[in-house]
Amino acid sequence: MALLEVRDLHVEFDTPDGVVHAVRGLSLDVERGATLAVVGESGSGKSVATQTITGLTRGARVRGSAVFDGTELLGAPEETLRRVRGAQIGMIFQDPLSSLHPYYPVGWQVVEMIRAHDRSVSKAAARERAVELLALVGIPRARQRVDDYPHQFSGGMRQRVMIAMAVALDPALLIADEPTTALDVTVQAQVLEVMQQLQERFGTAIVIITHDLGVVADLADDVVVMYGGRAMEVAPRRELFYGPHHPYTEGLLRSLPSRGEPGARLTPVPGAPPSLIDPPAGCPFRPRCPHAFADCHDQPPLRPVPGAPGHLSACFLPTTRTAGGAPPAAAVHELQEAP
C-alpha cells in the first residue's frame, strides 16, 4: 500500500459566477520515500488538491478518498487533521513569510511547532532541537540565529527555516507547493538540495508542485501532469520525458526552454485553459488538442500504457504511438543534467 492514496478526488467551490470545479476526479499514489512531482499550468488544481488532502481548503465541497498511512483524511475530524499536519505531513509553501509569524523569533516558532505536538518535550530540549534543525538546513551560525526574526533572513534562508519547521517532527511526507518559485536560480538549487539531503537522511516522501521541468528532471521519481483538475498523465520521470503519451504533456515538454541554448524562449501550449465553471464535455484538452478526433467528445479514462509499468494516460490516441518516439531536445538536455 502506498503512503498516500488519493482516489477520485473532487473539490468544488460555490462562487457568485457558479460552481468552480477545481479538482475533477484526481487519483494518485505517493510511495514511501519517493518524490512525486505535480506539474500543470496555472489553475489546473495542483494547490487545491494538495491542500484539500491536508484539510486546508475552506468552504469547499469535497468528495473522494485520501488515505494516508492507513487513515482516511477526507472528512476526518479537525483534531486528526491537526495531528497529521506537521507531525506526519510537513508543508512548505512558495512564500515563507505567509507561514512564519513576523513578531516571533524563528527558533521560538520551531519550538512552538514541536511542543504543540508533544507537550512532554521541555522548552530547553525543543530549543536545542531547533538549533540542530536550523543547522541541518544550512543556516550558518544557527545557535546565534535561532533568536532572529523572519525579516532578518534572506528569502532563501527563510525558505530553509520553513523546511526546518516542516521536518521538525520527522514527517513521513513533505508537501512542497512551488517552494523555490520566489527565489533566484542559485538559491533555488540550494534549497532543493537541502530537501533532497533530508529525504536521503530521513526517508521522507516528497510531493513537489512545480512549474519548472528542470526541477522535475532533478528530483522526481514519478510525475503527475494535471489539466483542468484532472490527471492527464502519470509516469516515472524518464518515461514521461522520453515517451510521453498525452498531447498536453508533449506540449509542456515542447514549451521547455533548453538551458543550453542562449536566448531559447518558452513557447506555451497554444490556447486557453478550460473553464472550471463550465468544463467542456469529453476530453478537457480537446479545444487545444492538435490530434482531437470524434471519440474525444467522451471523457477519456486514465488508463495504463501497455508495456510501460506505472505509465497512465487519459487520452484516446493509440498507446503504440509512443514507442521509439524521440523526446524533444530540451527534455534530453534536462535529463542529461539530472543525477
> Residue numbers of the site for ligand SF4 (CB under 6 A)?
246-247, 283, 285-286, 289, 291-292, 296, 300, 315-317
Specify whether the CB–CB gap between 166 and 92 falls below 8 A.
yes
Residue 9 vs residues 5, 225, 285, 329: alpha-carbon distances, Å: 10, 15, 19, 35
Smallest gap from residue 230 Cβ to ligand ATP (A): 12
Q: Which of residues 43-82 bind ligand ATP (CB under 6 A)?
A: 43-48
Among 2, 13, 138, 196, binds ligand ATP (CB under 6 A): 13
- Out of ligand SF4, ligand ATP, Mg ion, none, what residue 276 binds, judged by CB under 5 to 8 A for its kind, is ligand ATP
- The nearer residue to ligand SF4, 214 or 247, going by C-beta atoms, is 247
Specify whether the CB–CB gap between 232 and 224 falls below 8 A.
no
Q: In this structure, how many other beta carbons lie within 10 angstroms of the beta carbon of residue 317?
A: 18
First to last CA, the chain: 28
Smallest gap from residue 232 Cβ to ligand SF4 (A): 7
- The nearer residue to ligand ATP, 131 or 215, going by C-beta atoms, is 215
Chain centre distance of CA 71: 21
User: Please, which residues have CB within 8 angstroms of residue 217's CB and are 6 or more apart in sequence?
Assistant: 237, 241, 331, 334, 335, 337, 338
- The nearer residue to ligand ATP, 20 or 106, going by C-beta atoms, is 20
- Out of ligand ATP, Mg ion, ligand SF4, none, what residue 114 binds, judged by CB under 5 to 8 A for its kind, is none
**Is residue 50 a contact point for Mg ion (CB under 5 A)?**
no
Q: Is 33 exposed, middle or buried (0-12, 13-18, 19+ CB in 10 A)?
A: middle
**Is residue 15 a contact point for ligand ATP (CB under 6 A)?**
yes
Q: Name the residues that contact ligand ATP, by CB under 6 A.
A: 13, 15, 20, 22, 40, 42-48, 276
